[in-house]
């Protein structure tokens, strides 16, 4: 089975106040057809920037290096015109906040059809028909009426469903979902995740799911990469990474998850310290100042990515060896 998307040594630098800062470094992964690939990490870890880079949506002046093979072409080598033909058509995106991701002054029908008419050349009536059936697919009640409504008339969960419908309108092969459930209530979250999972199966869709929430990750991702300060620190099959983490950071993230089974008296576990800013990434392993297992070499030597069967990780010590 050949991969749908193969990212190889992706490198992103953004213009900052005092020159360029590196936000993504040496990022490699591949996404298989009809699977969900999860990228986890705290905010500022570079997970969003790494996907914006694929679509050429980075802020002006950004430097991008590496390769990203998608269906035989290198996305990073495409010109603006060719990229536009990919965006929305082959690769679509869903953003974090459904309150701001839809245009507040455009009706839903228009937002579901404008790119369809452009990419697929459908006449207005057909595009609207298609939009209606899409709204049905994402379980919006009264799709006909929804077409002439405006985003503010829907709840957050409904808006996110509309945003997903818009993303799927041109039948893309890859959907990038950037924190699609973060802004939603827990009960609504589950509905959206189930929807994404169903769509993947029904439509043969691959999904890159970006989230800081390992709980969300564990419910639908097939493979997982954990990022810290612009680099992958651990990646592999979901169950392996989330059940038997090899990197202290992954372990710390897992411990920080609220555990439903423990008693209320157990205090919430947090990771000490804060993630580094992109302008001042620590030398060596960037996690070492917050790491309980760090040894002397961690402070100045960048641990290489080690392969162990299906999984890779970047930590010289094995904190869980015993």
Q: Give me the residues that bind other proteins (CB under 8 A), please.
A: 55, 57, 84-89, 92-93, 95-97, 100-107, 114-115, 118-119, 142, 145-146, 149-150, 152-155, 158, 163, 166
Closest distance to other proteins from the beta carbon of 168 (Å):
11
Quickly count: other Cβ atoms within 10 Å of residue 281's Cβ: 18
| Residue placing its CB nearer to other proteins in the complex, 61 or 260 | 61
- Smallest separation, CB 56 to other proteins (Å): 9
Residue number with CB closer to other proteins (23 or 233) = 23
Closest CA to 201 of 130, 137, 135, 115: 137
**Least separation in angstroms between CB 157 and other proteins:** 11
Whose Cβ is closer to other proteins: residue 155's or residue 277's?
A: 155
**Closest CB 217 distance from other proteins, rounded Å:** 22
Q: What is the 3-state secondary structure (H, E, C) of the chain?
A: CCCCEEEEEEEEEEEECCEEEEEEEEEEEEECCCCEEEEECCCCCCHHHHHHHHCCCCCCCCEEEEEEEECCEEHHHCCHHHHHHHECCCEEEECCCHHHHCCCCCCHHHHHHHHHHHHHCCCHHHHHHHHHHHHHHCCCCCHHHHHCCCHHHCCHHHHHHHHHHHHHCCCCCEEEEECCCCCCCHHHHHHHHHHHHHHHHHHCCEEEEEECCHHHHHHHCCEEEEEECCEEEEEEEHHHHHHCCCCHHHHHHHHHCCCCCCCCCCCCCCCCCCCCCCCCCCCCCCCHHHCCCCCHHHHCCCCCCEEECCEEECCCCCCCCC
Q: Which is nearer to other proteins, 203 or 237 (CB)?
A: 203
Report the nearest approach of other proteins to the CB of residue 142 (Å). 8
Q: What are phi and psi of 47, to 5 degrees?
A: -65, -40
* Cβ 118 to other proteins shortest distance, Å: 7
**How many Cβ atoms sit within 10 Å of the Cβ of residue 275?**
18
The answer to whether the beta carbons of residues 105 and 150 sit under 8 Å apart is yes
Shortest distance (Å) from residue 88 CB to other proteins: 3
Least distance (Å) from other proteins to the CB of residue 284? 35
């Amino acid at each position: 089975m050949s991969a749908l998307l193969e990212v190889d040594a992706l490198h992103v630098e953004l213009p900052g106040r005092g020159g360029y800062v590196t936000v993504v470094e040496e990022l490699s992964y591949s996404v298989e057809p009809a699977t969900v690939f999860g990228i986890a990490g705290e905010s500022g870890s570079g997970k969003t920037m790494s996907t914006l880079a694929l679509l050429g949506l980075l802020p002006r002046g950004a430097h991008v290096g590496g390769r990203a093979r998608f269906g035989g072409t290198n996305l990073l080598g495409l010109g603006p015109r060719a990229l536009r033909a990919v965006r929305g058509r082959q690769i679509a995106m869903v953003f974090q906040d459904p309150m701001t991701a839809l245009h507040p002054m455009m009706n839903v029908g228009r937002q579901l059809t404008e790119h369809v008419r452009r990419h697929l050349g459908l006449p207005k009536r057909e595009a609207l028909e298609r939009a209606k059936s899409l709204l049905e697919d994402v379980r919006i009640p009264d799709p006909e009426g929804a077409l002439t409504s405006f985003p503010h008339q829907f709840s957050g969960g409904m808006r996110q469903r509309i945003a997903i419908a818009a993303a799927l309108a041109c039948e893309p092969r890859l959907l990038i979902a950037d924190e699609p459930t973060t802004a939603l209530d827990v009960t609504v979250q589950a509905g959206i995740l189930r929807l994404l999972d169903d769509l993947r199966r029904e439509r043969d869709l691959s999904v890159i799911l970006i989230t800081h929430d390992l709980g969300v990750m564990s419910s639908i991702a097939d493979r997982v990469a954990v990022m810290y300060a612009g680099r992958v620190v651990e990646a592999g099959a979901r169950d392996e990474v989330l059940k038997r983490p090899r990197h202290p950071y992954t372990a710390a993230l897992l411990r920080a998850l609220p555990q439903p089974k423990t008693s209320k008296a157990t205090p919430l576990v947090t990771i000490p310290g804060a993630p580094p800013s992109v302008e001042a990434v620590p030398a060596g392993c960037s996690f070492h100042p917050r790491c309980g297992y760090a040894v002397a070499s961690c402070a100045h030597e960048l641990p290489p990515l080690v392969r162990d069967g299906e999984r890779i990780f970047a930590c010289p010590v094995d904190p869980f060896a015993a």
